[in-house]
A and B are shown apart, each in its own frame.
Chain A
Amino acid sequence: MKKIACLLLALVMLFGLIACTPKDPAANTPKETDPPKPEETTAAPVETTEAPIDYTDVEFEISWWGSDARHEQTIKIVEEFEKLYPGLKVTISYAGYGDHFSALNTRAVGNDLPDVFQMDISKLDFWAKSGQLLCLDDMIADGSIDYTNMAPAYTDGGLIDGKMYGEVCGVNAYCMFYDTKLLEDNGIKLSTNPTYSEFFAVAKEVYEKTGVKAEVNAGWIRNLEMYLRSLGADQMNADNTQLGMTAQQLVDFWTMFADAYKTGALVMPGDFEVTNAEAIAANHVWYVASQTSSLAGFETTAGRSLGITTYPEADNRTQAATYMRPAMLWSASANTEHPELVAAWMDFYANSTVVYDISGTDRGVPISSEIRTYLEANATDADIRVNEFLDYLAEEGNSSLLPAPTPDGYGTFQTRVLETDEQIKYDLLKPEDFLATAEAIIAEGNAEIAAKAAAAAAG
């Protein structure tokens, strides 16, 4: 009896061990740590959609970040892609934004990056310069990735030092959403491109009439960025080596907000702990920061129609602050074993209407003019408003150039901006100390950027 029990137990443990082996044994085999191969000779332009080659044993992985809705859509898109390659079974992985990049970092160390993965413009510079990304120039040049319908303005977001390291999925713009009905019901108007004076006046009026607040603060780096850009400055200077703002500009920015916080019209710490969209639904806020690609999702969660404005800009503005940027990109691992499938995926994603039948503009407004025309026929109301806003931006003088990605080390300054805002909100930092603080954090930020640049040069 004991012997049978022992045998059974051993068998159970053995099965457990087998069940725990990864689905993809080849994914664990170490790849060589060679310098990045910018391109491999693609397996001949035989890779048409009618390729009779059997892909059953091919291991190809695609990884992305997003919400549940996006995950479901992307899985369907991958299935459509698989139909073009008989026997192909793409391994997929997805996570939230932070986890996605944490996982990519870990896998990069093990030389085990997915073949294709979602990339964010803020991290493209870092990843491209570390040699982990496949350069797409040759595949574009020989037509494996068909960019005949792409205007450079739409695809240039993927360029680093003149080389293409990511395919732009779609473009969008940073913008603000507001509760149209709340403002209409109270007879309040908000222009599409407000100044801070106009915005603060509107916020105060909304708060006094309805008690609903605006989610705008001095800690969110985007607010600072748009403020500076409208004055002709920016987060970084022209050659991206030092911070691009003066201490006085920071002081003016904080002074503006310090006064506004006192009116109670802006969201303060601890006011609510839900997402912005949920907060709109619960009538806690009427004005939130977001980007155009999120409009549809926001409206669904918020349960109401939302209007779009640009970020508020400085009263003494000299130019438009908003810019069109890649919502996200597809990048490929420099060590991929299937560059031809990478090209096929990029081409499929950019040019196939079925992708946009499934996901619409969830990843931004498509880069292909053909697809944009195709979508106009079936555009939802939200899409139409987004397109109107982007058209408004595309008009002369309503938007400006995409800035270069902020360099390594910028995060320190960003953290200090957030911390200073907290101190202002808790009334721990007085206006007379703003100048000293501004000078201190600019100096600290510059030192950190210089240190990181020196380390990169030495390493």
Chain B
Amino acid sequence: MVKNSIDKRVNTRGRTQSPRAKTNLSGYMFLTPWLIGFFVFTVFSFCYSLYLSFTDYNVLTPPRWISIQNYVEMFQDPDFWHSFKVTCKFALVQVPVKLFFQLLVAVLLSRATKFMRVIRTCFYVPSLVGGGVAVALVWGRIWSNNGAINQILESIGLPTVKWLADPNVALYILILLGVWQFGSGMLIFLAAIRDVPKNLLEAAAIDGASKTRSFWKITFPMITSSVFFNLVNGIIGSMQAFSSAYLITGGGPLKSTLYFGLLQYRTAFQSYEMGMASAMAWFMLLVIVALTAVVFKSNGAWVYYQDEM
């Protein structure tokens, strides 16, 4: 009998099947439950919503093809541009502020103090309770005209502010809610800071570098990959903001907190214009893709990955 080479096995039909192909196949088979879910719930919905964006669809009657009319109407709607502006403003303020706090607290916590674990958990808890409904409602009550914040201000003699009723202030209160939930990003920074090789920092200390200098010249450049990660996540998350406006201000006052996601929700579920809402969704998708593409393109210039040495 001819001895086959190690790389091939011949099955009864004479076809060859390398062990690698066999491993791949079993890998894919393990993936099938997830793949099925992915195709049915994500890919299908994705494609169907693209189709719907070219139709007039009010859920109870079948979709009616109207080609690009939704997009034309959408770009001419002042509310659309206003909500896009509000969302961009929201993202533009929240992302850097949140990153700053994430980094700041991570740096503070990176010094191994005795109660570090407890303190770290305390900082993480706000994001655990998460973007939940209960938290948003409580936040709304705290900042309301008769809420806790104003009561504290009154008791120490400071003037109160109509936080959520003033169109110039309300958005910042919602941004604050997002920033308050900085915990998960902070943990990522914390892990990255811990990963910085200690010998580099020691060498710098021996050479007489101050703590600040060694942070900005050594630690920070080495954690830029985490900064990049948090930045991209932050952009995507804040452009998709919805629940804080829906639950706390309802888009008001005077539409100052009308997020794009909220306008889209109303178009879909109050005006029953699913086609238009799908068009809005695709617009936002393209915007987010463009923004993340820009960030990705720039990463060569400022992001350091540990495996490129």
Mark A residues whose CB is within 8 Å of B.
Answer: 98, 102, 105, 108-109, 126-127, 130-132, 268-273, 408, 411-412, 419, 422-423, 426, 428, 455, 458-459
The distance from the CB of B160 to the nearest CB of chain A, in whole angstroms, is 11
The distance from the CB of A95 to the nearest CB of chain B, in whole angstroms, is 13
B97 at the interface (CB under 8 A from A): no
Known contacts A105-B60, A422-B254, A455-B56, A270 near B162 by CB under 8 Å? yes
A-chain residues with CB within 8 Å of residue B147 when the two chains form the complex: 273
Within 8 A of A (CB), among B34-91: 56, 58-62, 64
B-chain residues with CB within 8 Å of residue A130 when the two chains form the complex: 60-61
A-chain residues with CB within 8 Å of residue B165 when the two chains form the complex: 268-270
B210 at the interface (CB under 8 A from A): no
B-chain residues with CB within 8 Å of residue A412 when the two chains form the complex: 271
The distance from the CB of A49 to the nearest CB of chain B, in whole angstroms, is 35
Contact with A along B226-269 (1 / 0, CB 8 A): 00000000000000000000000000111100000000000001
The reply to whether B146 and A272 contact each other, CB–CB distance below 8 Å, is: yes
Q: A459 is contacted by which of B61, B167, B252, B255 (Cβ under 8 Å)?
A: B61
A139 and B145 alpha carbons, distance in the complex (Å): 54
The distance from the CB of B295 to the nearest CB of chain A, in whole angstroms, is 35
A105 and B57 alpha carbons, distance in the complex (Å): 12
The reply to whether B61 and A423 contact each other, CB–CB distance below 8 Å, is: no
A428 and B144 alpha carbons, distance in the complex (Å): 22
B5 at the interface (CB under 8 A from A): no
A-chain residues with CB within 8 Å of residue B271 when the two chains form the complex: 411-412
The distance from the CB of A404 to the nearest CB of chain B, in whole angstroms, is 19
Within 8 A of A (CB), among B135-181: 140-141, 144-147, 162, 164-167
- A sample of 8 cross-chain residue pairs with beta-carbon separation below 8 angstroms, ordered by A number, consists of A268-B165, A272-B144, A272-B146, A273-B145, A419-B254, A426-B253, A428-B254, A455-B56
Contact with A along B9-32 (1 / 0, CB 8 A): 000000000000000000000000
B270 at the interface (CB under 8 A from A): yes
Please indicate which of the listed interface residues A98, A102, A132, A459 has the most CB atoms of chain B within 10 Å of its own CB.
Answer: A459
B272 at the interface (CB under 8 A from A): yes
The reply to whether A105 and B59 contact each other, CB–CB distance below 8 Å, is: yes
Smallest CB-CB A-B distances: 5 pairs: A270-B165, A130-B60, A273-B144, A269-B165, A459-B64
The reply to whether A270 and B60 contact each other, CB–CB distance below 8 Å, is: no
The reply to whether B253 and A270 contact each other, CB–CB distance below 8 Å, is: yes
Give the contact-size bracket for chain B: 20 to 34
B-chain residues with CB within 8 Å of residue A105 when the two chains form the complex: 59-60, 269, 272
Known: A426-B167, A455-B56, A459-B61. 7 other contacts (CB 8 A): A105-B269, A109-B59, A268-B165, A272-B144, A273-B141, A273-B164, A411-B270
A272 and B150 alpha carbons, distance in the complex (Å): 13
A411 and B273 alpha carbons, distance in the complex (Å): 12
The distance from the CB of B258 to the nearest CB of chain A, in whole angstroms, is 11
Q: B253 is contacted by which of A98, A109, A126, A422 (Cβ under 8 Å)?
A: A422
A-chain residues with CB within 8 Å of residue B141 when the two chains form the complex: 273
The distance from the CB of B56 to the nearest CB of chain A, in whole angstroms, is 6
Within 8 A of A (CB), among B85-131: none
The distance from the CB of B138 to the nearest CB of chain A, in whole angstroms, is 11
B-chain residues with CB within 8 Å of residue A455 when the two chains form the complex: 56, 64
The distance from the CB of B256 to the nearest CB of chain A, in whole angstroms, is 10
A408 and B56 alpha carbons, distance in the complex (Å): 14
The reply to whether B164 and A270 contact each other, CB–CB distance below 8 Å, is: yes
A-chain residues with CB within 8 Å of residue B164 when the two chains form the complex: 270, 273
A-chain residues with CB within 8 Å of residue B145 when the two chains form the complex: 270-273
A272 and B140 alpha carbons, distance in the complex (Å): 11
The distance from the CB of A123 to the nearest CB of chain B, in whole angstroms, is 10
Q: A108 is contacted by which of B56, B59, B64, B167 (Cβ under 8 Å)?
A: B59
The distance from the CB of A119 to the nearest CB of chain B, in whole angstroms, is 13
The distance from the CB of B277 to the nearest CB of chain A, in whole angstroms, is 12
The reply to whether A127 and B60 contact each other, CB–CB distance below 8 Å, is: yes
B-chain residues with CB within 8 Å of residue A132 when the two chains form the complex: 60
The distance from the CB of B137 to the nearest CB of chain A, in whole angstroms, is 9
Residue of B with least CB distance to A33: B62
A422 and B254 alpha carbons, distance in the complex (Å): 6
The reply to whether A273 and B253 contact each other, CB–CB distance below 8 Å, is: no
B-chain residues with CB within 8 Å of residue A422 when the two chains form the complex: 252-254
Residue of A with least CB distance to B59: A105
The reply to whether B56 and A459 contact each other, CB–CB distance below 8 Å, is: yes
The reply to whether B140 and A273 contact each other, CB–CB distance below 8 Å, is: yes
The reply to whether B56 and A269 contact each other, CB–CB distance below 8 Å, is: no
A372 and B165 alpha carbons, distance in the complex (Å): 46
A-chain residues with CB within 8 Å of residue B62 when the two chains form the complex: 459
Residue of B with least CB distance to A273: B144
The reply to whether A458 and B64 contact each other, CB–CB distance below 8 Å, is: yes
A130 and B57 alpha carbons, distance in the complex (Å): 12
A180 and B245 alpha carbons, distance in the complex (Å): 36
